[in-house]
Chains A and B, each alone.
Chain A
Amino acid sequence: MNLLKYLRWFMPIIFIGTAFSQPTVAVLDFDANGIPEYEVETLVERLRSELPNTGAVRLVDRKMLENILKEQGLQQSGCTTDECAAQIGELLGAQFMISGSIGKLADTFTVDMKMVSVSTGAAERAKNLTFDGNVGGLLIEMQILAWEIVGEEVPKALMIKRTGADDSDKVTVAVMDFDPRGISLLESQTLTDRFSTEISATGKAILVARSTVLEVMEDQGYETSGGCTSEECAAEVGALLGVKYMINGAIGKLGETFTIDAKMFEVSTGAAAKTKNATYTGPVDGLITEIEILAWEMMDAKPPKELISKRKGTIVTQSDKPKTKIGAALRSAMMPGLGQAWTTDYANITNKSWYFLGGEAALGIFALVTYNNYYASNNDAVKFHQNYINATDVTEIRSFKETSEGHLSDAESSEQTMEYIMYALGAVHIYNIVDAYLNGPEDEETASVKKQKFDLVYNPELNQPQLRFSIALD
């Protein structure tokens, strides 16, 4: 009890002590050479916001810096020498000052920055960068430079972001070793490696190297082989890696049959983006081909023909996309009652499904019969009209005219009836779609949010995972 009492007193002191042990640093506005000033300000602001994330320095408030400069009658842009920076740093009470310039030569951007020690006036560390590409890509570079200028190791998430900066249409993915069930760990790792290689080969994803994944797992204290099989663990690792999706799964063996189950889920929400599984019976080497094909299917890409031609044995692939209300509505739009039946997995087809199907079929048949009547009457009206036009006998003329007008009236009546049937058919069909939607399966994502009040999510602002508490309001 006494120990706890002392700790309660000393913890804030330790915390404050730790905070003040970090050197303070102020960042001056950078010089702009051939690039608009507002762009430079945005880039420097990104540097400023990243510096506290390094945990190596404390940043002097920008307002304070501006006030000091104002008092001294200086403009930030006028203070370009190391001596001037050191002088301002002294007034601010900062230990280090960061200054620099951002320039543009043709399509190439250059960033030069240095950290000057206020006490000695000497440059403590200097970094420069040459960047080819869009100015937006410099934002990540500035974040990386923030870590480098304070002498800290750049987080892997940032490095992955840098790789993916030019591949905005690709998603970042990391693959966890598949859980071996009935096969050896080595076999499972080999198959996972093949799976990862093919994921990369699809060209639809930026894959994080296995070594990086293992490194993060080690950092978090997980065993690198089979130590992280749960989704929570995978999500945590994914968040630390800064990837959008994680893929995990299991490879099992039952007698002569192999099973592969793979799941891709979103790190930020934990929701399953795609689930694939396959059952394979045949020679073991054929399993490699199957897992390679599964990788293409997982990324919604068509497997290459040469891969398909290598296929051996018997394979049953199944994609378990989560059922959605929209899915049910679409099915009912294609066939009345199908969405309702699909919701119940066709196992317990309700009367409603049959009512919709039967009702629409009856209306359809009625419409077809009416159309036949309309078609015949219309044709007869035209035929007798032609006779009427060609006739020269007054009695015949009158007879043909009356007959033609009679058929025309029948055709108009049939057309009207058909219009009503079509409206009725349309109304029943829309009701069938709405019913399928309203009574459709609950979306997995919605269900999971409703179900679990606590979940582990990745917070991009804090750059770390956090425990989230949520309450459904509906």
Chain B
Amino acid sequence: MRLIKIMSPAMILLFMACEVAQLVYDNPLDKDDGEVPALVFSPSTIETSVGGSAVFEIFAVQVAGVSGIHTQIAFNSVRLGVTNVSPGDFFDDVNQSPMFFTVPANPSTAVDTLDIYYFYLGDGVTKEGTGSVATVIFNTKMTATSSLEFTAESEFVDPDDIAIQINSLGQGTVTAQ
């Protein structure tokens, strides 16, 4: 009798507790065929505290015959600052080290840009597939949600410096609370 008294509410609770998880499959590297090659931020969203860091990795997704990458990231320099930029492992090669340098834009304007150049020198060496281009660490300056965008200046090029069409450019978001 006591078992029934316990079981009945338990069954009702059990039924009410059933709720299938609502999952969103939005990995920025998970691109459809029509969207590649792509340039994306991973992760696409970071939440941090004011003064905290937001570490984004920039990925070239499913690109073929590429030997040079130029990314230009636009961000709000009032809200965010660039702490560090380090090269990724996409262009690692046994024969030669790739060139990697960054050019921060004039910080006098509110919208700042960060240019990253990553390429092989001559020799016809190319890469294909998906790989990390660079890791960028931003620091937040105030409570706000800031977006990071690749500008139209970003490009993939082949050994002959001919641009490879980019079909989608990802976006990043930093929320400082």
Query: Which residues of A does B touch, CB under 8 Å?
Result: 334-335, 364, 367-368, 371, 374, 378, 381-382, 385, 388-389, 391-394, 397-398, 401, 404-405, 408, 411-412, 415, 418-419, 422, 425
Minimum CB–CB distance for B13 against chain A, Å: 11
Given A334-B4, A334-B5: A404 in contact with B62 (beta carbons within 8 A): no
Most buried by A among B1, B14, B59, B130: B14
Q: Give Cα A382–Cα B61 distance, bound, in whole angstroms.
A: 25
- The stretch among B18-26, B77-85, B106-114 that forms the contact with chain A is B18-26
A335 touches B20 (CB 8 A): no
Judging by beta carbons under 8 Å apart, are A335 and B1 in contact?
yes
Q: How far is the CA of A121 from the CA of B30 in the complex (A)?
A: 116
Residues of chain B with a CB closer than 8 A to A364's CB: 7, 11
Contact B23 A392 (CB under 8 A): no
Q: CB-CB < 8 A to A382: which residues of B? A: 21, 23
Is there contact, CB below 8 Å, between B23 and A381? Answer: yes
Report the Cα distance A447→B61, complex, angstroms.
85
- Whether the pair B29, A392 counts as a contact (CB closer than 8 A) is yes
Query: With A392-B42, A392-B57 given, is the CB distance from A398 to B30 under 8 Å?
Result: yes
B20 close to A415 (CB less than 8 A): yes
Give the total of B residues in contact with A, Cβ under 8 Å.
Answer: 26
Bound-complex Cα distance A427 to B129 (A): 58
A418 to B26, CA, bound (A): 30
Which A residues are CB-close (under 8 A) to B27?
A: 388-389, 391, 397, 401
Residues of chain A contacted by B11 (CB below 8 angstroms): 364, 367, 422, 425
| Cβ-defined contact, B18 with A418, below 8 A | yes
Closest chain A residue to B36, Cβ basis: A394
Kindly identify, within residues 24 to 47 of chain B, every residue whose CB is under 8 Å from any CB belonging to chain A: 25-27, 29-30, 42-43
B171 adjacent to chain A (CB < 8 Å): no
Cα distance A408–B42 when bound, in Å?
25
A391 partner residues in chain B, CB cutoff 8 A: 27, 29
Q: Are A392 and B132 in contact (CB under 8 A)?
A: yes
Complex contacts, B43 vs chain A, CB 8 Å: 389
Q: How far is the CB of B128 from chain A (nearest CB, A)?
A: 12
Contact between chains at B20 and A404 (CB < 8 Å) = no
B30 touches A418 (CB 8 A): no
User: Contact partner of B20 among A334, A401, A412, CB < 8 A?
Assistant: A412
Q: Which residues of A contact B26 (CB under 8 A)?
A: 389
Identify which of B14, B25, B29 contacts A385 (C-beta below 8 A): B25
Query: Known interface pairs A378-B21, A418-B18. Does A394 touch B7 (Cβ–Cβ under 8 Å)?
Result: no
The contact sample of 28 A-B pairs, CB cut-off 8 A, is: A334-B1, A335-B4, A364-B7, A367-B11, A367-B15, A371-B14, A378-B20, A381-B21, A381-B23, A385-B23, A385-B25, A388-B30, A392-B42, A392-B57, A392-B130, A394-B29, A394-B61, A394-B62, A401-B25, A404-B23, A404-B25, A405-B25, A408-B20, A415-B18, A415-B20, A418-B18, A419-B15, A422-B15
Given A392-B42, A392-B132, A418-B18, A397-B30 contact (CB < 8 Å): yes
CA distance A392 to B42 in the complex (A): 8
User: Which residue on chain B has the smallest CB distance to residue A422?
Assistant: B15
Residues of A within 8 A of B59 (CB): 392
Give the tally of cross-chain contacts (CB within 8 A).
70
Q: Contacts A335-B4, A397-B29; is A418 near B20 (CB within 8 Å)?
A: no
Q: Give min CB distance, B134 to chain A, whole Å.
A: 14
- A398 to B61 CA separation, bound complex (whole angstroms): 14
Q: How far is the CB of B19 from chain A (nearest CB, A)?
A: 8
- The residue in chain B whose Cβ has the minimal distance to the Cβ of A335 is B4
If A335-B1, A394-B130 touch, whether A411 touches B7 (CB-CB below 8 Å) is no
A394–B1 Cα distance when bound, in Å, is 56
The complex places the Cα of A368 from the Cα of B10 at a distance, in Å, of 10
**Most chain A beta-carbon contacts within 10 A, residue among B23, B29, B61, B129:** B23
- Chain B residues within an 8 Å CB radius of A374: 18, 20
User: Which residues of A have CB within 8 Å of B62?
Assistant: 394
- Chain B residues within 8 Å of A418, by CB: 15, 18
Q: Which residues of chain B are near A378, meaning CB under 8 Å?
A: 20-21
Which residues of chain B are within 8 angstroms of A405 by Cβ–Cβ distance? 25
Neighbouring B residues of A371 by C-beta, 8 Å: 14, 18
Complex Cα–Cα for A401 and B32 (A): 13
Q: Given the complex of chains A and B, what is the CA–CA distance between A391 and B29 in angstroms?
A: 9
CA distance A289 to B76 in the complex (A): 90
Chain A nearest CB, measured from B65 CB (Å) = 17
Residue of B nearest to A374 (CB): B18
Inter-chain CA distance A294–B132, complex, in Å, is: 87
A428 smallest CB distance to B (angstroms): 13
Residues from chain B with Cβ under 8 Å of A412 in the complex:
20
- Select from chain A the residue with minimum beta-carbon distance to B61: A394
List of 3 A-B pairs having minimum Cβ-Cβ separation, nearest first: A335-B4, A385-B23, A411-B20
Please give the distance in Å from B20's CB to the nearest CB on chain A: 5
A415 CB contacts on chain B under 8 angstroms: 18, 20
Cα separation A394 to B27 with both chains bound (whole Å): 10
- Neighbouring B residues of A422 by C-beta, 8 Å: 11, 15
Enumerate chain A residues within 8 angstroms of B5, measured Cβ to Cβ: 334
Q: Which residues of chain B are within 8 angstroms of A419 by Cβ–Cβ distance?
A: 15
Interface centre among A381, A397, A412 (most CB of B within 10 A): A397
- The residue on B at minimum CB distance from A334 is B4
Give the distance in Å from the alpha carbon of A364 to the alpha carbon of B20 in the complex. 20
In the complex, what distance in Å separates the CA atom of A251 from the CA atom of B30?
89
CB distance from A414 to the nearest CB of B (A): 8
Considering the complex, give the chain B residue whose CB is closest to the CB of A411. Answer: B20
A408 to B22, CA, bound (A): 9
CB distance from B105 to the nearest CB of A (A): 28
Pair A388/B4 contact, Cβ less than 8 Å? no
> In the docked arrangement, what's the CA distance between A397 and B25, Å?
10
Q: Which residue of B lies closest to A377 (CB)?
A: B20
Q: Which A-chain residue is minimally distant from B25 (CB atoms)?
A: A401
Smallest beta-carbon distance B34→chain A, Å: 15
